[in-house]
Amino acid sequence: MTDKTILRALKGEVLPTPPIWMMRQAGRYLPEYRATRAKAGDFLSLCYNPELAAEVTLQPIRRYGFDAAILFADILLLPQALGPKLWFETGEGPRMETTTTMGQVNALKPTEAIHDTLSPIYETVRILAAELPKETTLIGFAGAPWTVATYMIAGKGSKDQAAAHLLKDTDRPTFQALIDRIAEATVEYLSMQISAGVEVVKLFDSWAGSLKGQDFRDFATAPTARIIAALKSRHPDIPIIAFPREAGQGYIGFGHQTGADCVAIDNSVSPEWAAANVQIDGCVQGNLAPEHMVTGGQALVAATQHVARAFRNGPHIFNLGHGITPEADPANVQLMIDTVRAG
């Protein structure tokens, strides 16, 4: 039996105080993160430097005592390991060589080759497994295939994922082959993270909300279910969190349909709705609006209490509905934690 609160919540236990961590908890809102990133040179150099990546993972744990640490890396490292070039444009975000034809999908590196690029990430995990406080859970992650595909197809982030929708609707064989390649590589990547010491894995499907109807079932639910089944067959005890962001009605039953132990909820749905429709099936994570980390004050306290109270009768991991932003005030994070822990 584990004492780690996150693992207990993931097994379905209802705790008097929900365990808490925050998406992007190691990030630019923290001065110590900005200092380490400057030392590394740039964001990707930081991701591939195990000592410094472990350092920034630990920073929010030292400062706040979160119940979980999330491996510092990025969902775009896996597609990069399959061959396409990746870089970050300052002030704009990721840029990637595009993959839009069957020839390009076939030219991606074989799955076994990803570890050549990703081995520093496994080293970061090993350092963290040794250095984290014993009560802190280490979470590994990857992007879900649809979200990773949207970046591989468009070569950058986009509001509506139009390029990926176009490929899906005009060249289904190429699109499906790409999804399958990403899913296969994701299983190997997460499996190596688990062998190196992560205790939970999370699949980020940040753009799941733009998939509707059958597309949601085919390209959000089905690939997630396949990845989870493959991971659970190799690592039966590993808990898995799925985050089909902005899925709306698609959140209902997502845990059962995919085999995920926990469904992470964004803040476009109310916590009462998520408690009634999603938490009835098991553990949920979420869903305070990240804007409160910028604005703070009594509104932050009230909204934090609202989320904690709405989910208090079932298994719950307190988190934001999406990542904390660079404009956030570190003092507001402390206020959120104090509010959750005061009950």
Residues forming the site for ligand CP3 (CB under 6 A): 23-28, 37, 43, 70, 72-76, 93-94, 141, 157, 204, 206, 323
User: Across-strand partners of 69?
Assistant: 138
Report how far residue 35's alpha carbon sits from residue 100's, in angstroms, rounded to the nearest whole number: 38
How near is the Cβ of 243 to ligand CP3 at its closest, in Å? 8
Query: Which residue in the list 74, 180, 215, 329 is annotated as catalytic?
Result: 74
| CA distance linking residue 219 with residue 214, whole number of Å | 8
Q: How far is the CB of 208 from ligand CP3 (least distance, A)?
A: 10
Measured from the CB atom, the residue of 175 and 207 that comes closer to ligand CP3 is 207
Distance CA 13, CA 2 (A): 12
Catalytic-role residue among 33, 151, 189, 251: 151
Residue 22 vs 308, nearer CB to ligand CP3: 22
Nearer to ligand CP3, 137 or 275 (CB): 137
CB of 209 to ligand CP3, least distance (A): 11
Tally of CA atoms within 13 A in the half-sphere of 95 that contains its CB: 6
Residue 234 annotated as catalytic: no
CA–CA separation, 18 and 2 (whole Å): 16
Distance CA 83, CA 48 (A): 16
Cβ closest to ligand CP3, residue 152 vs residue 228: 152
- Identify whether the C-beta of residue 122 lies closer than 8 Å to the C-beta of residue 192: yes
Shortest Å distance, C-beta 63 to ligand CP3: 13
Whole-angstrom distance, CA of residue 168 vs CA of residue 110? 23
Out of 8, 29, 33, 37, pick the active-site residue. 37
Residues in the chain: 343
- Minimal distance in Å, beta carbon 316 to ligand CP3? 19
Q: Write down the least CB distance from residue 301 to ligand CP3, Å.
A: 24
Respond yes or no: is residue 62 known to be catalytic: no
Angle at alpha carbon of residue 246, lines to 343 and 194, rounded to 5° = 75
Q: Are 258 and 225 in contact (CB under 8 A)?
A: yes
Q: Which of 24, 181, 226, 245 is catalytic?
A: 24
Q: Exposed, middle or buried: residue 181 (CB in 10 Å: 0-12, 13-18, 19+)?
A: buried
Report, in angstroms and rounded to the nearest whole number, the Rg of the chain calculated over CA atoms. 19
Q: Where are the beta strands (DSSP E) in 59-211?
A: 68-70, 86-89, 93-96, 137-143, 200-205
Question: Annotated catalytic, 28?
Answer: yes
- Whichever of 151 and 314 has its CB closer to ligand CP3, that residue is 151
3-state secondary structure at position 202: strand
Rounded to a whole number of angstroms, the minimum distance from the CB of residue 157 to ligand CP3 is 5
Is the distance from CB of 18 to CB of 304 less than 8 angstroms?
no
Closer Cβ to ligand CP3, 93 or 297, answer by number: 93
- Is the Cβ of residue 73 or residue 228 nearer to ligand CP3 in the bound state? 73
Residues classed as catalytic: 24, 28, 37, 74, 151
